[in-house]
Structure 1
Amino acid sequence: MSDVPALVNDHGEPLMLVDRPADGVVRITFNRPRQRNAMSVAARTALLSALDDVRETARVIVLTGAGPAFCAGIDLKEANAEGPARDSLGGKAPWIAVQEAIRRHPAIVISAVNGFALGGGVTLINTSDLAIAAEGAQIGMPEIGFGLYPGLAGPSTQLRINQKRAAWMVLTGERISGTTAAEWGLVNAAVRPDELQHEVIGLATRVAEHDPVTLSWCKKALWEIPMHLSDWTSALEFGEGVGVQIRARTDVVAAGLSEFSAGRRNSTQGIPPTEATTPKGIS
């Protein structure tokens, strides 16, 4: 019998649905709705495969969930049946490997949080470069109810938002709404559920209009500063270096400056708020 898990759900459908709603935009939909899109071994394998398959073609990737949930985290029933060693931090935990694949992917990743985002689902939000949630989405870390500290969701949230707010989520186990998550800065904005996919694809389309090399290096800078570089001078020097790397890999900068010098506005030079369908409250 093969050790490779079957990459289909209990209806025989793919665990990851992949579509291309706009030029340069790929949407990956977690497809275990009956399990609230909990990440089994097979689901993690399918997600890593989908990310790898679009590595050369996607400028922006949208992550979302089928049914009433975004992602309920790791499949606890499966993990419990297989013992505690599978996700042990003694080695490279599989869920950490998924986060690293997202973080190091050249495409910008946007979470469209359509419903429940629990535990590892919160980690996905934090690993994504941008996130928009449905106003009524329920977001939380239930781990303390099992006598645990949320091993990945906890630290990733502590690195993303105010410490007192992170502590509230870790210590109470209470869920917050998508609206509160936007107020706290856990997501960029909260919108009506029926508007979520439209708003996220609109955002993804606008981002995807930019040069892929520029997007990739901007993503690197956003992860380096201040995650690794918090010294003022070092951060500024890194930023200058990013510009050098972009110019060495693409002529988009020279072309843009040439257009500007000729008195022509670049299509992606800068869009005033009134021209963009920016969700209310986006930061």
Structure 2
Amino acid sequence: MSSISKPNSPVTVSISSHPHGKVATITLSNPTRLNSLSAYLLEELKASVITLAQTPNLRCVVITGGPLPNRDIFSAGIDISEAKAWPDAKAARDAITRLHLACKSLREIHVPVIARVNGHALGGGLGVAASADLRIASSDSLFGMPEVQRGVPSTIEAALLPRQIGAARARRMLLLGDLIPAEQAESWGLVDRVVDRKDLDGAVEEWVQLILRNGADALRAQKRLMAVWEQVPLREAIDAGVWEFGKAFEGQGMEAEGRRMMNEFGSQSKGRKSRL
């Protein structure tokens, strides 16, 4: 296990090596403020993700909240102690842009990101979780966008919610500002899996191992495609997929990941009775 964190940083990054590549774990730590997203924490988060993107053989990133004295919380969102001191509209826009850029770095990194939601994910904290590709939550977690209760709208990555849970459910969360339990978040599609707190690490590790066995180039292509699909008409999305599929077979012999893994699968299946 290695680390790329600065001393005393509110964002710690540990990297573990596996036979098929490296897995990074990002921990958000602001224990006196419920892991809220201070300006410094957000700058460190963005810088950490940018550094991770240059890490050779990186295959997966897990992001989670650091331990607190009495309970675990993923993140309570923007640090209110800072927000109430913003002097003008420019300061507020600069601050919310800082949060957006941190979320954007998670969405754009070339490997799958799993949010290990180990407690409440509120406001900007939910925005960070929503920016991950996959979300696993402990059963005692709560989710909400309570910004309207603080006199401001939910913005930036809150725009992901209508796509993730549907427009009607997003309106409920954004206009009422109320909190929903983990089981309801799972039924809405806001999180992908809910487990007991004691099983959270095991559930995350199970998905990490599934990612590690997949083709590294194929996963990068899949992330690129999903980003394209969010922005272009269906015809363009299909054309982009055709192009990426062909790229899997570029190169000579077994240096092409698609050809190599197809052959490996064929060899493993040879002599087995088909289940289809």
**What one-letter code is carried by the residue in structure 2 that aligns with 1:34?**
T
Q: 2:104 aligns with which of 72, 88, 100?
A: 100
Say which of 218, 228, 231 aligns to 2:231: 228
Q: Which residue of the other structure, out of 30, 47, 59, is the alignment partner of 2:45?
A: 47
Distance 2:120 2:8 in 1: 21
Number of the residue aligned with 1:137: 141
TM-score normalised to structure 1 length: 0.82
- Taking the aligned partners of 1:180 and 1:153, their CA distance within structure 2 comes to 20
**Structure 1: 5+ residue stretches without partners:** 1-6, 267-271, 273-283
Which residue of 2 is the match for residue 73 of structure 1?
77
- Map 1:26-65; keep pairs closer than 5 Å: 26-55=24-53, 56-57=55-56, 58-65=58-65
Alignment of 1:188-199 (within 5 A): 188-199=192-203
Counterpart CA distance in 2 for 1:97 and 1:182 is: 26
SS of structure 2 residue aligned to 1:236: helix
Work out the CA distance in 2 between the residues paired with 1:153 and 1:97. 10
Asked if 1:257 is matched to 2:262, the reply is yes
Query: 1:137-193, CA deviations, whole angstroms, 9 ceiling, x for partnerless residues?
Result: 011011111222211253221221121111111111111111111110001011111
Partners of 1:264 and 1:142 in 2: how far apart?
52
Correspondent of 1:159 among 154, 163, 166: 163
Query: How many residues are paired up?
Result: 254
What amino acid is the match of 1:238? A
Report how far residue 234 of structure 1 moved: 2.5
Say whether residues 1:16 and 2:11 are aligned partners: yes
Pairwise CA distance, 1:53: 2.5
CA distance in 2, matches of 1:234, 1:154: 26
- SS for the counterpart of 2:84 is helix
Query: SS at 2:219's partner residue?
Result: helix
Separation in structure 1 between the aligned mates of residue 144 and residue 209 of structure 2, nearest angstrom: 29
Q: Percent identity?
A: 24
- Whether the 8 Å contact between 1:119 and 1:153 is mirrored in structure 2 is no
| Contact in 2 for aligned 1:25/1:205 (Cα 8 Å) | no
| d(CA) in 2 for partners of 1:260, 1:222 | 25
Cα distance change of structure 1 residues 92 and 120 upon mapping to structure 2, 3 Å threshold: closer
1:218 and 2:218 are equivalent in the alignment:
no
Contact residue 22 and residue 201 of structure 1 kept, 8 A: no
Q: Tell me, which stretches of 5 or more residues in structure 2 are unaligned?
A: none
The answer (yes or no) to whether the contact 1:120–1:152 under 8 Å persists in 2 is no
8 Å Cα contact 2:131/2:157 also seen in 1: no
Q: Which stretches of structure 1, 4 residues or longer, exceed 4 Å deviation after superposition?
A: none
Counting helix residues as a fraction of each chain, which structure ranks higher?
Answer: 2
Indicate if the aligned counterparts of 1:65 and 1:113 stay in contact, CA closer than 8 A.
Answer: yes
1:33 CA displacement: 2.0
CA contact (8 A) 1:22 1:205 kept: no
The two structures have a TM-score, normalised by structure 2, of 0.84
For 1:197 and 1:230, locate their aligned partners in 2 and report how far apart those are by CA, in whole Å: 38
Instruction: Please state how far the C-alpha of 1:92 moved relative to its aligned partner.
Output: 8.4
Q: Tell me, what secondary structure is at the counterpart of 1:74?
A: coil
Paired with 1:236 and 1:170, the residues of 2 have a C-alpha distance of 33
Determine the C-alpha separation between the residues in 2 that align with 1:26 and 1:154: 25
2:23 counterpart residue number: 25
Q: In structure 1, what is the Cα distance between the partners aligned to 2:233 and 2:195?
A: 33
For 1:279, the equivalent position in structure 2 comes to: none
What is the deviation of 1:265?
4.3
Select which of 245, 261, 274 maps to 2:247. Answer: 245
Q: CA deviation at 1:212?
A: 2.2
Greater mean deviation of Cα atoms: 200-209 or 244-253:
244-253
Q: CA RMSD in A?
A: 2.4
**Greater length-normalized contact order (CA 8 Å, ≥ 6 residues apart):** 1
